[in-house]
């Protein structure tokens, strides 16, 4: 290759790399809204209310990113996605961000061309059964039929668990979560398996939630969090540090109310490195916290013990409060 051809090829490569590096951020700003992939309706995480407005833990993370990038937590278009369709929608560029209770696994991280910037909720797979059964462990489910949502790690996890225990069960698989819940409610299966947070949402949606119990046993690790394409490191960093900022803000006792006073100056100082590195406004973190609050506020509003989900912080408490929630320091 001639020297001129080599130089031209190098310039073309650098140009394409530059586009990939900042593409998502530029796209979001150009259309003045974030397109965020969410579940088709999972209580506490992402579900439309009676007015059609989206609410939930995952929805609030979409709102936090919109506040960081656009200065307005309301500038989000939500695209509901099934478990089977979610990763393809992200890879194909139909969404900018997937915020849909997705488990971070090695195969997904390495094989799908995607990045998992961090864990927003530490979960684990469990089982829900009618309380009348009287069982206290899934090891009592020999011969049971179990409802499960397809396109997830759930069925494989459960199959491995029961095989190791020497028990035989059968699975009734559904693409849509609503269909799986309906089948369970109609007693077409004996138990329902999913992430424990998802089971809490499904139980709350049943006609008589108190007649069903979520067994205490946890059979898998399910680190849930946002997902992005791996071709855009700037966007990955922006998503990662938005998540970390929510966690660090709780640790520093910065909340939505404090953004109207001295807390705003502290938030600006915490977020300062991202202003130049990620091209954000100097008050980006103020906008995030004013828009959605810190991690604790997001959790309690959507998943906490005073909500239909009735979830305690558990391992999702800060590391200073007996949990494992931990973010790198800011700034």
Of 207, 35, 51, 200, the closest CA to residue 126 belongs to 200
User: What pLDDT, on a 0 to 100 scale, did the predictor assign at position 11?
Assistant: 42
First-residue to last-residue Cα distance in the chain: 47
> What domains are defined for the chain?
3-122+223-321 (3.40.190.10), 125-220 (3.40.190.10)
- β-strand pairing of 121-123 with 47-48: unpaired
Up-side HSE of residue 135: CA atoms within 13 Å toward CB? 20
User: What pLDDT, on a 0 to 100 scale, did the predictor assign at position 15?
Assistant: 41
Q: Residue 13: is the preceding peptide bond cis (ω within 30°)?
A: no
Show the low-confidence residues of the chain (pLDDT under 70). 1-22
- What residues contact 34, with CB distance under 8 A and at least 6 apart? 28, 62, 65, 66, 69, 70, 75, 76, 77, 96, 97
For the stretch 73-113, pLDDT in tens is 999 999 999 999 999 999 999 999 999 999 999 999 999 99
* pTM assigned to the model: 0.89
User: What pLDDT, on a 0 to 100 scale, did the predictor assign at position 305?
Assistant: 96
User: What pLDDT, on a 0 to 100 scale, did the predictor assign at position 18?
Assistant: 36
- β-strand pairing of 191-195 with 145-149: parallel
User: What pLDDT, on a 0 to 100 scale, did the predictor assign at position 152?
Assistant: 87
Q: Which two tokens stand for residue 233?
A: 């490191």
Of 319, 304, 264, the closest CA to residue 288 belongs to 264
Q: Rounded to 5, what percent of the chain is helix, strand, coil?
A: 45, 20, 35
DSSP letter, residue 2: -
């Amino acid at each position: 290759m001639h020297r001129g051809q080599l130089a031209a090829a190098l310039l073309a490569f650098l140009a394409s790399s530059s586009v990939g590096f900042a593409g998502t951020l530029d796209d979001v700003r150009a259309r003045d809204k974030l397109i965020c992939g969410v579940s088709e309706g999972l209580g506490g995480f992402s579900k439309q209310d009676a007015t059609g407005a989206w609410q939930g833990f995952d929805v609030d993370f979409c709102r936090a990113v919109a506040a960081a990038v656009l200065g307005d937590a309301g500038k989000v278009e939500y695209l509901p996605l099934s478990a089977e369709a979610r990763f393809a929608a992200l890879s194909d560029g139909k969404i900018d961000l997937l915020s849909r209770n997705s488990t971070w696994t090695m195969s997904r991280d390495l094989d799908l061309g995607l990045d998992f910037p961090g864990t927003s909720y530490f979960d684990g797979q469990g089982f829900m059964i009618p309380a009348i059964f009287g069982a206290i462990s899934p090891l009592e489910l020999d011969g049971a039929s179990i409802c499960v949502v397809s396109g997830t790690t759930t069925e494989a996890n459960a199959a491995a668990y029961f095989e190791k225990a020497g028990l035989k069960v059968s699975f009734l698989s559904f693409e849509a979560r609503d269909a799986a819940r309906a089948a369970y409610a109609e007693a077409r299966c004996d138990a329902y398996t999913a992430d424990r947070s998802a089971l809490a949402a499904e139980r709350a949606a049943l006609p008589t939630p108190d007649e069903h119990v979520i067994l205490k046993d946890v059979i898998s690790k399910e680190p849930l969090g946002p997902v992005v394409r791996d071709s855009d490191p700037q966007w990955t960093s922006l998503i990662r540090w938005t998540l970390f900022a929510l966690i660090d803000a709780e640790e520093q006792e910065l909340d939505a109310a404090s953004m109207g006073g001295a807390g705003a100056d502290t938030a600006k100082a915490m977020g300062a490195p991202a202003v130049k590195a990620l091209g954000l406004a100097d008050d980006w973190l103020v906008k995030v916290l004013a828009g959605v609050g810190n991690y604790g506020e997001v959790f309690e509003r959507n998943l906490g013990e005073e909500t239909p989900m009735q979830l305690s912080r558990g391992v999702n408490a800060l590391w200073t409060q007996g949990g494992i929630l931990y973010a790198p320091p800011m700034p």
